Amino acid sequence: MKHIYALIAALMLGTASFAQLPDGSIAPDFTATDINGVEHNLYDLLDEGKKVILDFSATWCGPCWSYHTSGVFEELHNTYGPEGTDELHIFYIESDDTTTDADLNGTGTATQGDWVTGTEYTIIDNGGNIFDDYNGAYYPTIYTVCPNRILTESGQAGVEEHAAIFQANDCAAATLANDPALLNYTGGTTACPGEPVNMSVDMMNLGVTTLQYATIDVMVGGSSILSYDWNGALETYEITNVQLGTAAFDADTDFTIEITSADDNDVNNGSEGSVALATEGTSLIHVEIMVDNWSEEVSWSITDDMGNEIESVPAGSIDGAEGDVFEWWVSAPSTGCYTFEISDAYGDGIFGSQWGSIDGYCTVKTYNDDIVYVSTIYDYDGSYNYETEQAGMSVSTMTVGVEEQTLSDVTRVFPNPFVDRTNLQFSTVQAGAATIAAYNLVGEQIINDNLGTLPAGEHNHVLNFNGVTAGVYLVTLNAGGETTTMRVTLK
């Protein structure tokens, strides 16, 4: 099972879990009233120069209780809170709205103990909406938020480890007049040879005065390949996405983005990025994914160099059991540069073995007119976590496409051989009646499935051989005005 605590949280919340906000994200603002009736606003505290720790917990969560009673937050509050250096504010946020006030006070049925008595820092009850805004996936989730709104998942650290995060130089409040800072590179990450790549970066004003201008350069090997003069009005801690222009690349390239105009602090003037050269292929693209036990988390898309989707499968639309294989044939409309992107809503890829399932995979390949392999665009073996991955493809050769292939070209039985059940996956160019029949080798009909009228597109049908004697069978598919027959083996 996934995250031993996330499973319980999912049952309690009744919704699918999504990936936590990664380190470096901007903390969503919130306003909430604590159990004593006092209202708090996150950004107001940050504007005062405070650092904030957010402890998203649930009263029934054992690890949450163990950490709550460890004394770490009490020591942090006493040393750095209002009675100490007054630089830190801690929130305990009860994030499961099904728990009760009795649970919070230790007298209910869904609690590990009394969370209120002896807790001097702020307690927020019914904070499920805040937890959702932070893409909460498990309890406890503990973030440290700096005055610049940037968060770090500090977790169940000790006192010294927490202090090292919020007392670091990059977590200090704004004090200088002119201090622009570059955050993350947000531009293109794949390139076709000679094709322009859109370059962009997030910039934050860490100065106490309005930022009105900055010069930003993209540097490769110490030389500027692109320079942009930004002008605007950016208030303290505001962020803007700066569109720098385009650059062309003929190889995999690492680069830095630097503020080259004068300011009061050059420590935060740089960011890094990279562009990978796209793999050359044909316009006939084959996507194959074997899922783990959480197929609904997987989504993918193929976009052109203008960001237009030519094919996509959203999260929640793949419905399969672990080990099921899904295939799609995609025809790119023209030569040019394309990007394949695969995402996992939970942020752990198809790395199912870490939760007791199996590891899936994803391959993206291109083929010629004879359905002969040409190149591999993307190859993931299920051995690591990811939230989103991309791979570029340079379509240099046009093929006839799936729409001009025969039914036998786009029909597959998997697994084969199989036990009891197998999948018949096929594509049809036009709507029409579809039937499937299975025969043994002496001509006796074993299965007769009428699928009715199917729309054009991709289809998957489960063939049920339960109770049938093991052996070799012939499966005949009639669909879209065509017929094809395949040999299958029942073990």
pLDDT (tens digit per residue) in 109-149: 999 999 999 999 999 999 999 999 999 989 999 999 999 99
CATH number for the domain harbouring residue 458: 2.60.40.3080
- The structure tokens 């995999």 sit at 252
CA dist 281 and 489 (Å) reads 34
Is the peptide bond preceding residue 140 cis, with omega within 30 degrees of 0?
yes
Report the sign of the C-alpha dihedral through residues 220, 224, 226, 227, in that order: positive
Q: Check residue 11 and give its pLDDT.
A: 37
- 3-state class percentages of the chain: helix first, strand second, coil last, to nearest 5: 15, 45, 40
Distances (CA, A) of 49 to 61, 87, 159, 223, 244: 32, 7, 20, 38, 31
154: its two tokens: 């500090």
SS3 string, 142-167, reads EEEECCCCEEEECCCCCHHHHHHHHC
Candidates 127, 97, 121, 86; CA nearest to 13 is 97
Q: Check residue 195 and give its pLDDT.
A: 82
Q: Check residue 410 and give its pLDDT.
A: 63
Domains: count for the chain: 4
Q: Check residue 97 and give its pLDDT.
A: 96
Residues 117 and 58 in one domain: yes
Task: Tell me which of 277, 303, 338 is where a domain ends.
Answer: 277
The sheet carrying 88-94 orders its strands as 122-124, 88-94, 51-57, 141-145, 151-153
Residues 77 and 200 in one domain: no
- The structure tokens 């669909």 sit at 479
Residues 342 and 479 in one domain: no
Residues 412 and 375 in one domain: no
Domain span including residue 388: 279-403
Residues 246 and 292 in one domain: no
Q: Check residue 291 and give its pLDDT.
A: 95
Residues 195 and 239 in one domain: yes
Q: Which residues of the chain have pLDDT under 70?
A: 1-19, 400-406, 408-410
CA dist 205 and 225 (Å) reads 25
Residues 29 and 166 in one domain: yes
Task: Tell me which of 403, 435, 464 is where a domain ends.
Answer: 403
| pTM for the full predicted model | 0.66
Residues 132 and 252 in one domain: no
Q: What is the DSSP letter of 140?
A: S
Could you tell me if 479 and 428 are in contact, meaning their C-beta atoms sit under 8 angstroms apart? yes
Residues 269 and 304 in one domain: no
Residues 191 and 337 in one domain: no
CATH number for the domain harbouring residue 9: 3.40.30.10
Residues 195 and 250 in one domain: yes
Cβ neighbours for 233, distance < 8 A, ≥ 6 positions apart: 210, 211, 212
Strand 270-277 to 190-191 pairing: parallel
Task: Tell me which of 249, 277, 305 is where a domain ends.
Answer: 277
Residues 257 and 270 in one domain: yes
CA dist 397 and 391 (Å) reads 18
Is the peptide bond preceding residue 417 cis, with omega within 30 degrees of 0?
yes
